[in-house]
Amino acid sequence: MSNPARASWGSKLGLILASAGSAIGLGNLWRFPYIAAENGGGSFLFIYLLCTFSVGITLLFAESALGVKTKSDPAGAFAWINPHLKFIGTLGVFTSAIIVPYYSVVGGWIIAYIAKSFCMADIGNFETHFSEFIASPVSPVLYFYAYMLATAAVVYMGIEHGIEKFCKWMMPLLFLLLLVLMLRVLTLENAWEGVKFFFLPDFSKITAESWLDAMGQVFFSISVGMGIYITYGSYVKDDTISISKTMWPVAVLDVSVSLLTGLTIFPAVFAFGLPMNAGPSLTFITLPAIFADIPLGTFFGIVFFVILLGAAITSSISLMEVVTTFLCDQFKMTRKKAVAAYTALCLVTGTLVSLSFGKLSGFKIGGKILFDQFDFLASNILLPVGGLLTSIAIGWILGPEKLVVFKNKILQRCFEFCVKWLAPVSVLAILLNALGVI
Ligand code: PHE
């Protein structure tokens, strides 16, 4: 399957960093805390960890192995298993087209908050300020365009050189800063109430809906279910690479960033008496409140939002790269044309998504505004369905023994069991249960 003209990573570390760049993003720093808050904190953490280290990691390994083996975009990779399965890869392209617009709207908010960091102390009520900002018809839309164009520019230039270096600096910096912030927050009065909320499970809060939310969060956060790792794996030259050794740090880093975020946001919410039910705005209200209150807060605020922006862009790049590789491989489009066409589509849908907080807030589908509906559809339905189909295709049609993930025989058998049984059965059960079928 090797094609000498196909681009490749500079090193194994390049693949690890780009994959961690895809996994770590707004899913950890923005989505995780508010979804956890909506589902009772500690109880959610428990099922989130369970889903990550069972289904999440299985699919991470399976997708990467398929990419390394086929050296093709997701549609081509599934077509290699069986021509009738090509649609599974194409579904990932559709999922990306749903995620990119709303993800980039949040990316736009980050750029706005970098600008606002300079006058954070004068903002006054962070809650009101934030809700007024996102509801306004012009400025969030313009910030969204800026974010979208920045992402498109990186994908347009190709990722091999920029992204490896970018992630190498940014990821350690992100960890360091989160650690400093966490330590600062944990020394505030009442902060331990937040730690308790985050760690002490209250199992009575777990419903069918929480399982669906946790599964959706795992798929979203670790970036599985839409062919990202098939795409990234396809750029690996060395077929003898150990998939498990290369990819497990991705899962561990992803979970660590979520834990650090939870240990910062929840204690801050309790210490500052902020609203726990703030939904998507939680991070944008609590963090500025901390920055306004600590020495050198403006500096920390700017650094934090710049890093958040970097983390978000490395994820957006991966989302866009799936579509770009698909258009290039399947329709023989040039990278230039593929990026231009896809960006134009996302600019239109993203504008509607941004306006759903203001002018279009009356337009609801299934009781949800467009932003929430896109997020629900992508994370809780499309990604799990993509993961389900992937595990069925590999576990039952290809045969999981065709993908060597572990060199150790026993571990390889465990992987095969997980792809064949654990992943499809648990995802299906959660989906059907949440939809009220079982
Ligand atoms: N994993 C990314 C994050 O946590 C988002 C993402 C989802 C990226 C799906 C690619 C695919 O922010």
What band does 120 get if pLDDT is binned at 50, 70 and 90?
A: low
Question: What single-letter DSSP state applies at residue 394?
Answer: I
Residues within 6 Å of ligand 1 by CB: 22-23, 25-28, 99, 220-221, 223, 226, 228, 315, 318-319
- Structural domain includes residue 88: yes
- The percentage of residues in the chain with a pLDDT greater than 70, rounded to a whole number, is 95
What band does 264 get if pLDDT is binned at 50, 70 and 90?
A: very high
pLDDT given for residue 87 in this prediction: 96
**SS3 per-residue string spanning 18-74:** HHHHHHCCHHHHHHHHHHHHHCCCHHHHHHHHHHHHHHHHHHHHHHHHHHHHHCCCH
Most ligand 1 atoms within 8 A of CB, residue of 308, 315, 317, 385 to mutate: 315
Give the residue ranges of DSSP H helices in 204-281: 208-222, 228-233, 243-272
In single-letter form, the type of residue at position 261 comes to T
- Structural domain includes residue 397: no
What band does 285 get if pLDDT is binned at 50, 70 and 90?
A: confident
Most ligand 1 atoms within 8 A of CB, residue of 318, 375, 377, 385 to mutate: 318
Domain count across the chain: 1
- Structural domain includes residue 421: no
- Structural domain includes residue 414: no
CATH number (domain holding residue 220): 1.10.4160.10
Q: Residue 181 has which token pair?
A: 């912030």
pLDDT given for residue 123 in this prediction: 66
Q: Residue 239 burial by CB count (10 A; 0-12/13-18/19+): exposed, middle or buried?
A: exposed
Q: Residue 300 burial by CB count (10 A; 0-12/13-18/19+): exposed, middle or buried?
A: buried
- Structural domain includes residue 406: no
Tell me, in angstroms, the distance from the centre of ligand 1 to residue 340's CA. 22
Question: What single-letter DSSP state applies at residue 1?
Answer: -
pLDDT given for residue 171 in this prediction: 78
pLDDT tens per residue, range 306-325: 888 988 998 998 899 889 88
Residue 295 clears pLDDT 90, i.e. is over it: no
- Structural domain includes residue 389: no
- Structural domain includes residue 422: no
Q: How far apart are CA 277 and CA 263, in angstroms?
A: 17
pLDDT given for residue 7 in this prediction: 67
- Structural domain includes residue 429: no
Q: How far apart are CA 91 and CA 227, in angstroms?
A: 9
Residue range(s) defining the domain that contains residue 56: 12-367
Please state the atom number of ligand 1 nearest to the C-alpha of residue 383: 9
pLDDT tens per residue, range 385-420: 999 999 999 999 999 999 999 999 999 999 999 999
More confident residue, 217 or 9: 217
What band does 90 get if pLDDT is binned at 50, 70 and 90?
A: very high
